[in-house]
Each structure stands twice: as C-alpha cells, then as structure tokens.
Amino acid sequence: MQNIRAPKGTKDVLPSESHKWHYIESVMRETCALYGARELRTPIIEHTELFLRGVGDTTDIVQKEMYTFEDKGGRSITLKPEGTAGMARAFLENNLYSDTQPTKLYYLNSPTFRYEKPQAGRLREHHQFGIETVGAYGPETDAEVITLALSIFERLGVKDLLLHINSIGCPKCRREYNAALREYLKGYLPQMCETCQGRFEKNPMRIIDCKEPGCRQIVKGAPRTIDYLCDDCRAHFEGVKAYLDAAGAEYVIDPDIVRGLDYYTGTVFEVISNRIGAQGAVCAGGRYNGLIEELGGQSIPAVGFGMGMERLLAVMEVNEVKFPVPEGPTVYFAAMGDRPRVKAFELTKKLRDRGVSAEFDHMDRSFKAQFKYANKIGAKYTVALGDEELDRGMVKAKCMADGSEKELPIEALTEYFI
C-alpha cells in the first residue's frame, strides 16, 4: 500500500522549524500590543456568501481559488481564502461598533486556503497575520497600519523590503477611471483572457491585476488610477504620504498596484522583497471603506493588511536572520538499574513541577550513551544515578559547559537547580 502524503500545496511545520514560527508570532503579538491592537479569532469556515459579497465575484479568489463545499446540512461553506471578510463579519455580528472607536484588531497564523498552482511562495494552505483598524477615516490611520507592518519587519531584522503605495480612489473616482479604462481596453477585448473579458463590463479595474501574460502586456499602457483621483482622495493620499514621511518610512509610489480584492478604496499598498523569487509580496493591504456596508452594516471605514507568514519566513531566511534557538533541559538524569531509574523519574517530575526543565532516559541506553545523548540535547547539567549514589544519598551534578562537578545530597538536589 502506498503511504498517504499531505495534500498538494500544503506544508508541515516540523519541530525543527516551529521555534521560528513561535519567534515571529511573539514579535507580532508584542508589536500589536504596542500599537493597541487586540486579537480577534474567527472560524476557518464561513458561509460562501460572505466571500462572494466581501471579496467580490470578479476577483481571482472568488472566480478561481476558493475551497467551497456543501456541508451535510446542504449549506455552502468555504475555507477562509483571506482574513478580512471574516473579521468584518465578526465585527458586525458581535456589535464591536458599539465600543468606542477605532477598533484595532489583529489575527495571527490564520490558515488561509486558495486553490492555486503550487510553486515557490504559493501554497494551497498558507498562513496570514493581519490587522484591521475599523472606524477611522483619516490618513494617519492608514499610515499607522503601514508602520505597524514595517515595525514588525524591523524588529525581526528583515531588510531588503520596499513599501509600494498607491491610491485607487473612491467610487466617485472609480466611475471616471473605469470609463477611461474601458475606452483603452475596448480594442484589446478579443486578445484578453476569458475571465478578463467577463470583467470588462462588471469591474474593469480587476483586469489590471490579471496574472495572464497576454493581459499583463495589454495593461502596460492602461490609464492609472492615481491620475483619476477626486480632490478628497488626492488630499487623503497626500496625507498618507506626509504621515509616512513623519514616521521616517521609505516608500515608492507604484501606480500598478490595484489589489486583487473588490472592497478596497483609496490607499493600497504592498511590501515587496525582490530576493524570494517571483512571489515577492510579503504583505499587502489597503483601505476598504465599502466592505462593512457591503456586508449589511452601516458605512464604517476600515484599513488593514494581510501578511503571508511563509513568505515572511522566506525573507528572513535570505536575510540570514538568527532565530533564538530553544534551550536544552536544565538537568539530565543518567540512570542505570531499576531503583535509580524510578528515582530519576521522580526527580524529573519534581523539578518540572517547580518550573525547571529536566529529562531522563527513555531508551534503556548505556550510561555512556546517556551522557552522549544529554550532550546532544544541550542539557546544562547531568546527574548520574546508580545504586551506589542512592545508597549514599549523594549525587554529583556535572556542569556540561565547563565540566565542573558538585556533590550534593539527593534531598537538596531540586533546590540546587531552582
């Protein structure tokens, strides 16, 4: 019989890697605390309708990438393909708008599912960290969200990243822009991919984001959203830049960014590395003032981003970031014989109960092999336990760093390590 393998495009996080995730997670949590954001955990499954409305039916996610199935009750359910729609739903459903605004929410390590062609930097299950600040319109909020992302990169020691910003305007600007874009694209319609032909009437801006090489070529000369901003949107964008300047953030204006999701308005941004291959966007986000209303709430503004944790790890690897390595146990008990083995077990338990990490032999190894093993797992002290030690009531604790030994009564052993 053949072994069962993990589904294509999914990845195990092995024990030799998980400490890296823990480190990233702890820095993210610390940074969110500094910025006053609190965690909101939402389910991995949502009603499919949420993403149809909240992400938009002309997006790649909805058109091509969702894991959708019917559950046993006949409901259409979808595995989360992004974080924001679920956060907005939970915000509304739990009346978080009745609290004093703004509401700063984050999610961490959120499993995200997209049926994509697996390749470097593109998985079918990946994990996202993200923040959503809900309730505030001003450009300082956009800038704060962006600086939170930059602050995480800085604290993690990641360089080689560049912030790209753009504005795609509000529905008012969009009408004018869409008209200009249709005018430009009209002649190319037969050469565009089928999906984009369908987008032409409904949402032509999505065509700018298409990954098909033919469409990418066509949109190179297309009108740019930034040239069609109304006065309010232009002022808002200038504001975002001024606040980013005040924060000392470096950025480039990138008129090519329109973002793949329908709910964006105004500011859009990506943080990109050019050192991890073609899929270089580590973090992407923007303002989406239309989303909460779209989901049936009042008109409440919001701004946020999603950060791909696997891509972040990849950038950290190429930056040769040093991860804190998990420590070995404080004490290793090397025991031979029935009585000493029971004593080693008892002492290990006692130490662990007092918050000191300890380990004993599980493999019936020889004394010599036990010491070798203690060395391998990085034990700070080893204690040899044989019948003789038990009879005398005395043991030697050996410091592995300098080889020095200290003789101690067994009864006082736990105190010595605490």
Binding site for ligand ATP (CB under 6 A): 82, 114, 116, 121-123, 126, 128, 260, 279, 281-284, 306, 308, 310-311
Least distance in Å: CB of 341 to ligand ATP? 48
Least distance in Å: CB of 126 to ligand ATP? 3
CA separation for the pair 208, 181 (Å, rounded): 10
Cβ proximity to ligand ATP: between 114 and 398 the closer is: 114
DSSP per-residue string spanning 386-403: -HHHHHHTEEEEEETTT-
**Three-state DSSP class for 235?**
helix
Phi, psi (degrees; rounded to nearest 5) at 133: -105, 120
Q: Compute CA distances 337 → 322, 344, 384, 391, whole Å.
A: 42, 11, 12, 13
Least distance in Å: CB of 23 to ligand ATP? 18
Cβ proximity to ligand ATP: between 282 and 295 the closer is: 282
Least distance in Å: CB of 7 to ligand ATP? 14
Cβ proximity to ligand ATP: between 122 and 155 the closer is: 122
DSSP per-residue string spanning 261-324: -TT--SEEEEEEESSS-S--EEEEEEE-TTHHHHTTS----EEEEEEEHHHHHHHHHHTTPPPP
For residue 3, give the DSSP letter.
P
- Cα three-residue angle 276-247-147, rounded to 5 degrees: 45
Q: Is the peptide bond before 102 cis (omega within 30 degrees of 0)?
A: yes
CB-CB contact of 61 with 261 (8 Å): yes
Cβ proximity to ligand ATP: between 208 and 300 the closer is: 208
Structure tokens at 245: 């300047």
Least distance in Å: CB of 108 to ligand ATP? 13
Least distance in Å: CB of 130 to ligand ATP? 8
Instruction: State how beta strands 76-79 and 45-47 pair.
Output: antiparallel
Cβ proximity to ligand ATP: between 130 and 139 the closer is: 130
Cβ proximity to ligand ATP: between 272 and 331 the closer is: 272
Instruction: State how beta strands 331-335 and 302-308 pair.
Output: unpaired
Structure tokens at 365: 């190894």
Of all residues in the shown chain, the one whose CB is closest to ligand ATP is 308
Least distance in Å: CB of 114 to ligand ATP? 5
Least distance in Å: CB of 116 to ligand ATP? 5
CB-CB contact of 395 with 407 (8 Å): yes
Cβ proximity to ligand ATP: between 59 and 151 the closer is: 59
Cβ proximity to ligand ATP: between 241 and 311 the closer is: 311
Instruction: State how beta strands 381-385 and 405-409 pair.
Output: unpaired
Cβ proximity to ligand ATP: between 21 and 367 the closer is: 21
Least distance in Å: CB of 81 to ligand ATP? 8
